[in-house]
Amino acid sequence: MSTSSYRRNDRPASAWSRRRTTRSAAVLSPVLAAAAIAALAPASPASAVDRRCDSYMYVTNSADDTVSAIDTSTRSVVATVAVGDEPRGVTAAPNGRRVYVTNRGDDTLSVVDSFTNTVVSTIAVGQFPTESAILPNGRRLYVTNATDDSVSVVDTRTNSVVTTITDGIGDLPQGVAASPDGRRVYVANGTSDSLTVISTETNTVVGTIENINGAEDIQVSPDGRRIYVTAPGDDAVVVIDARNRTVIATIPLGLSPDDLALSPHGKKLYVSLDAAQSDQPGRVAVIDTRQGNVERFITDRIGLNPEDIAFTADGKQVYLANAGSDSISVISPKTDRVTTVITNGVGNEPHGLTDGGVKLCRR
């Protein structure tokens, strides 16, 4: 996934009037006084702006060349959109109005209008685009291109590549994540076993963190102080101090990790794990980030070859894409149990998920 930090609420601005009290209110009758106070009371957000918000999870279906939208309230597929060849990663704009899909087979980025679920633009990027991360302000999208060891920077207002970063990018860039303040973008380099740090002000590499065996996916804590990176070569998750850019902990998992999902409060980290044998179901590790250890493993109702894992927009559900079973396992973070397995409408080889879900509001 992956990637994404995830993170995203679109809140309407509410105009609140200030209540002013004068001595003249004392001479009003109780009925008139109550009416006056009611008139001066602030309008509720619902009356100020009449909006309806829905929550979705988008999933790429790699073998079908499609992306599907799942309504997280009903846990059902409500739309499927044809995109490019072999779609992998999927990222949503902070306001939920656009969804970006990296297509590895034809080196493109599909831009999907989430209101209409139609492709509104196709952008040529680098070779074998794998994942993407959007800045908190929604203006720039960073795409990792695994084959040519580069990162494409996309202007989301013009849907065009404004620059391509090559200097300092390691071999096989995969996972990518933005810091909460939008000043840094982190790239996991699988073959170089490293993490690249990019300044979003200059779009240049400003640092490299080494010795992350097979670095693949990234999550950044809500306060920006910690970076979590999967290290499949060591069957572990590596914890990095973002300020000092040093590895401060390694959490063993016993199996090869694929993707990460960090809870909105940053206290729990979910890790999708491959099974020792490809014909066996995978599992999910639940890490207590305060203690730095695995609390438990979720095994029941997990499918084959689990790939991306992501929280929904409200933080109340965790979705897991089972690429080998063509299904989505839905986990309750309260109980750490699978509550539903979605199969109807899910395409072939579901892979990427929108990190943090999609909250889409309509007036």
Sequence-ordered alpha helix ranges (H) in the chain: 30-40, 45-48
User: Mean pLDDT in the chain?
Assistant: 89
pLDDT of residue 29: 44
pLDDT for 24 equals 37
What is the model's pLDDT at position 278?
A: 83
CB 93 within 8 A of CB 138: yes
Q: Output the pLDDT for position 200.
A: 98
CB burial readout 317-335, b (16+ within 10 A) else e: bbbbbbbbbbbbbbbebee
Q: What pLDDT, on a 0 to 100 scale, did the predictor assign at position 33?
A: 43
Would you say 244 and 207 are in contact if contact means Cβ atoms under 8 Å apart? no
Give the three-class secondary structure for 266: coil
Burial tier of 300 (Cβ tally within 10 Å: 0-12, 13-18, 19+): exposed
Retrieve residue 239's tokens: 């914890």
Q: Could you report the average pLDDT of every consecutive run of 10 residues in the chain (363 residues)?
A: 38 34 38 41 43 94 98 98 98 98 98 98 98 98 98 98 98 98 98 98 98 98 98 98 97 97 98 92 98 97 98 97 98 98 98 97 82
Q: How far apart are CA 136 and CA 153, in angstroms?
A: 15
Quote the pLDDT of residue 152: 98
DSSP element (H, E) containing 259: strand 257-262
What is the reported pLDDT for 51?
A: 73
Burial of 168 (0-12, 13-18, 19+ CB in 10 A): middle
Would you state the structure tokens that stand for residue 109, as one six-digit string? Answer: 């980025």
Question: What's the confidence (pLDDT) of residue 362?
Answer: 82
Contact 271, 309 (CB under 8 A): yes
Angstrom distances, CA of residue 3 to CA of 6, 28, 181, 324: 7, 60, 16, 20
**DSSP code at position 332:** E
pTM of structure: 0.86
Q: According to the model, what pLDDT value does residue 148 have?
A: 96
Q: What span, in angstroms and rounded, lies between the C-alpha atoms of 192 and 154?
A: 25
Q: What is the pLDDT of residue 219?
A: 98
